Structure 1
Amino acid sequence: MKIARFRSGSRTAHGVVFDDEVAEIRGSIYTSFRITDTRHPLSEVRFLPPTDPGELWGPGLNFVDHLEYAGSVFGQDAMPVPEKPQPWRKGRNALTGVNDPIIIPKDTAGEVHYEGEAVAVIGKVCRRISVERASHYILGYTCGNDVSERSWQKDDWTFWRAKGADTFAPVGPWIETEVDPQQLDLLVRINGEEVQRCNTSDMLFSFAEIVSYISQQVTLKPGDLVFSGATGVTRAITPGDVVEVDIPGVGVLSNPVIAEFEAGQGK
């Protein structure tokens, strides 16, 4: 089932996607709901980030073939294989949706990179759960882009702006509730050219392990988002590009790239 959050006119609603239309629901996507007869063509709605999360979490380094590149960002050899997840928060202000622009800050060094990832959507209040129980607290999965400014990653002690700047967390287009999260192909395209491909089976730590680990100290709540981590070597994106994160069986997250001044900011 594909569960979407969308705007039609001045109304915001959740719905279930069927082919070329979305049917509004009544009730809560986290407890129970019914599908209504109110339907909208997909072409006539604006899809929003599928939840309004309080928290966005990354797992730290989570693919072996990203370790050497991650080391190069910090001017060192390949990062060691982590023995446990190294979770960190991504700013809530960074959240944006499908077809919304990724805004390149005017003071960037020109090293804003994509990181296409799968994203788990928390469905229940989640505190001190086991790995074996973690999947029961996940509503479904969506596409995400952990946009990252590499020079800021190297220069700052934290990732507060490198990964948390405005629009640096595109997520969408909807939540898919019926997929195997550890058997998802994940592709990234820039202007139609494939630049990244992997499978979530290669994650060092599964979604269940990451969610369980975070929950030992932090209460995750319905709608919170947990990213998979990225793979491989990435490259810079520039204004005029279109970045697509494609997870077959889930959906395609597409975002144009614009400069800050084009967005009417920072003048």
Structure 2
Amino acid sequence: MRAATLNDGTALPLLGLGTYKLRGGEAETIVRRAIEIGYRHIDTASFYGNEEEVGRAINAAMAAGDVSREELIVTTKLWNDDQGRARQAFDESRQRLGLEYLDIFLVHWPWPQKGLYTRAFADIARLRESGALRAAGVANFYPEVLDVILDATGVTPVLNQVELHAGFTQPELRDYHRQHGILTEAWAPLARGGNFDAPHIVAVAEKHQKTPAQVVLAYLMELGCSVIPKTANPQRLVENWGAGEVALSSEDIELLNSVEGNRMSGDPLTFPGDAD
């Protein structure tokens, strides 16, 4: 799998596994199977309520000799309500995952109305000094709040995980990231399957004899984005992994650039809303 080099020198596989809404035994089974297939980039969050299950699957894979800890990139996130207690929340996440260290810890949303995102990111950045955290990042941030944390802390996030999919590729934000050495990571990269019948996606998929999901993931990786598709289906795990073998032409990219779409989830300018 192709990898991007983060601004701290870490090689991050461009295709990883998202675990949003995976629960219980299903979460353990999917993460374990993903590692067997070759996934080395696993994304979770305290908000997902599955850190324990994800951690059990990772530790089981290591105990079986399927993977070493050094081969994995494990990401989790600081939820909004914990922005004032980032260090404690990090320790709680690490304990739930059962890992000696975490690779990347993200501020999950800026929540500008609360006004704690700068403090939260600064606290996360300082956690790297302990050795329990390798890198600090953010999710759902936009240029104005990125400017604030860069100016206040002098630390550049290794990545910004944002909603991004065919039809909603956020070119201005990606350009900002390129200028500042921040990797763009796409959550909901498959648009929850909502655009698989778009004529340009269908045309490119048929041309390459690949599925719409494989074409869309390959497209986003060609744009320089990391992608973390979530699935509860073992067959889809294999299908998504196959996106790494899709070679798109410049004409394919041009077609996919013309797919139309919009944001599907909360706008980080306003979500989660006014603070109490």
Which structure has greater helix proportion?
A: 2
Same fold (TM over 0.5): no
Which structure has greater strand proportion?
A: 1
TM-score (norm 1): 0.25
TM-score (norm 2): 0.24
The one of the two structures with greater contact order (alpha-carbon pairs below 8 A, sep at least 6) is 1
